Amino acid sequence: MDYKEITLKVLDLAKIAGTFIMEQRKQFTADRIETKGKQDFVSYVDKETEKMLVDGLLKIIPDSGFIVEEKTANHSNEEFIWIVDPLDGTTNFIHGVTPFAISIALMQNNKIVVGVVYELGQKEFFYSWKEAPVYCNERVVSVSKATAISEGLISTGFHINDNSRLEGQLKTVFEIVSNSHGIRRPGSAATDLAYVAAGRFDGFFEYGLSPWDVAAGGFLVEQAGGTVSDYSGKKNYLYGREIISGTPGVHENLLQLLQKNSKVADMR
């Protein structure tokens, strides 16, 4: 299996899909929004882009399966499964702000082997494949050299339909703001993770995420020399609906903070 060739084909497909998204952005209006939940939106752009990506990815690997946000395809026990978010950051998109991104990962026998995040606002492709470095528009990138939160810029997100763990997260945010270069909330988990892989952010954490939010980006962080886990420190970030990522030192700091503050919140 030539993972590099597959990745290059995915990049070409993502570029075509990205052109469609940006063209639709010029004429998009609020009356074309569907609401899936509180602050959780979808549009015809998400659905049409996903169909475009599914059709194109099937041409790259026929008979492959899919885990996709808008449910335009599904999977069984195929060797190859694509994990796709056609438009990560839909809320940003409908408000005309960036970032928003296309996220595509390829899983072979339950292991991610290809990851692509295309952030459309800056027209930046972040990508890698098994046993390869991470690239940003053909330039090799890696996680930063930050060894602790105090040396870093951290990003996060807030789950829109589940506030049950918000207190612990906000305590963590407060401590980070007080002891770091700052904290950011861009609104696209795939982009957050790509930025960690590229050394722009030094760490990222969020709960309530789905596989299509984190599959490609988490793979990129690990390929770029970073550490990725769930909030318990285990590797179940793909399906565990929570993720911590960063340089090894920053990841360890975030893990300790989140575990401490979640216990404090649980005691109340």
Per residue in 24-41, pLDDT (tens digit) is 888 766 655 665 444 444
Residue with tokens 């978010």: 85
Percent above pLDDT 90 for the chain: 76
The predicted pLDDT at position 25 comes to 85
Angstrom distance (rounded) from CA 238 to CA 131: 20
The predicted pLDDT at position 13 comes to 98
Q: What is the model's pTM?
A: 0.92
State mean pLDDT over 133-149: 98
pLDDT in tens, 188-242: 999 999 999 999 999 999 999 999 999 999 999 999 999 999 999 999 999 999 9
Q: What letter does residue 244 receive in the DSSP assignment?
A: E
The predicted pLDDT at position 44 comes to 81
Least confident of 44-48, 89-93, 162-166: 162-166
What values do phi and psi take at 246, rounded to 5? 160, -175
The predicted pLDDT at position 266 comes to 44
Nearest 10 degrees: Cα torsion 13, 85, 82, 191:
80
pLDDT in tens, 153-203: 999 998 766 677 778 888 999 999 999 999 999 999 999 999 999 999 999
User: How far, in whole angstroms, is CA 53 from its chain's centroid?
Assistant: 17
Cβ atoms within 10 A of the Cβ of 37, count?
A: 10
What values do phi and psi take at 120, rounded to 5? -80, -30
Domains of the chain: 3-141 (3.30.540.10), 149-266 (3.40.190.80)
Contact assessment for residue 209 and residue 243, using Cβ atoms and an 8 Å cutoff: yes
Contact assessment for residue 146 and residue 247, using Cβ atoms and an 8 Å cutoff: yes
Contact assessment for residue 254 and residue 231, using Cβ atoms and an 8 Å cutoff: no
User: How far, in whole angstroms, is CA 227 from its chain's centroid?
Assistant: 15
